[in-house]
C-alpha cells in the first residue's frame, strides 16, 4: 500500500485499508504483527531518531511503508509514516497517511489534533505547489488574528509533539 500521490490513488488506498480493517476488527484474537513488520518499523524509528536530512526521512518512510505492506492494520506505522513523510517534505502523502491512521484508529484521543495537522499539511502542499509571487494589493492579517492563529497552531503542535515523543521513545521532533 504505497502512496502513489494522486487523490484517486489515496481514495483507493483508504477504501482498501478501510475494508481490510473492518475484517481485522472482527478477528478474535486480532492478528499478530509479523516479526519482519516490527523489524521494519523499528528501523524506521531508528532512522527518524538519527535523521538530519530529508533523504534520511525518506529512508525512514520507506521502512514504515514496508512494515505496512506486511501489517496494513497497524495504526502506529501510519502515524510514524506520516511524520517521516512530513519531515521529507511530502506533505500530501503525510496528510494521506494521517487520514489512514485515523481510519484504523478512529477513537484516538488526539484525533482533533491529527485532523488539524492534516489541514496544515494540505495548506503546506498547496503553498509548495504555488508560485511564490506576492502582490502589494494583498492585505496583511491583523495582529490579533495572527496571534490567535499562532496560538491555535502552537496548541496543536504541542499536542502532536507529546504524541510523537511517546511514539518515538522520548525523542523530540520539532513541527
Give residue-wise pLDDT tens across range 143-172: 554 454 455 445 555 555 555 555 555 555
**Of 31-35, 60-64, 79-83, 127-131, which gets the smallest average pLDDT?**
127-131
Cell 496548541 found at? 155
Give residue-wise pLDDT tens across range 103-114: 989 889 999 999
The predicted structure's pLDDT at residue 3: 45
Which own/partner contact pairs does 92-97 have at CB distance under 8 Å and 24+ positions apart?
A: 92/5, 92/10, 92/121, 92/122, 92/125, 93/3, 93/5, 93/61, 94/121, 95/121, 95/122, 95/125, 96/3, 96/10, 96/13, 96/14, 97/3
Tell me what percent of the residues of the chain surpass a pLDDT of 70: 70
Residue 136 has pLDDT above 90, yes or no: no
The predicted structure's pLDDT at residue 60: 98
Give residue-wise pLDDT tens across range 68-96: 999 999 999 999 999 999 999 999 999 99
- Residue 137 or 17, more confident: 17
| Residue 111, CA distances (Å) to 31, 102, 116 in order | 24, 7, 9
Amino acid at each position: 500500500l504505497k502512496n502513489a500521490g494522486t487523490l484517486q490513488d489515496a481514495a483507493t488506498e483508504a477504501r482498501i485499508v478501510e475494508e481490510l480493517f473492518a475484517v481485522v476488527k472482527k478477528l478474535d484474537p486480532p492478528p499478530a504483527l509479523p516479526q519482519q513488520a516490527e523489524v521494519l518499523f523499528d528501523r524506521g524509528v531508528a532512522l527518524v531518531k538519527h535523521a538530519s536530512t530529508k533523504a534520511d526521512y525518506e529512508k525512514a518512510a520507506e521502512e514504515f511503508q514496508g512494515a505496512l505492506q506486511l501489517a496494513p492494520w497497524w495504526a502506529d506505522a501510519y502515524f510514524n509514516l506520516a511524520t517521516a513523510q512530513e519531515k521529507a517534505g511530502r506533505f500530501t502523502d503525510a496528510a494521506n497517511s494521517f487520514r489512514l491512521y485515523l481510519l484504523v484508529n478512529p477513537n484516538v484521543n488526539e484525533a482533533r489534533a491529527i485532523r488539524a495537522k492534516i489541514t496544515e499539511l494540505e495548506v503546506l502542499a498547496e503553498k509548495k505547489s504555488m508560485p511564490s509571487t506576492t502582490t502589494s494589493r494583498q492585505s496583511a492579517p491583523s495582529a490579533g488574528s495572527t496571534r490567535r492563529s499562532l496560538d491555535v497552531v502552537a496548541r496543536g503542535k504541542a499536542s502532536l509533539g507529546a504524541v510523537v515523543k511517546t511514539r518515538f521513545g522520548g525523542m523530540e521532533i520539532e513541527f
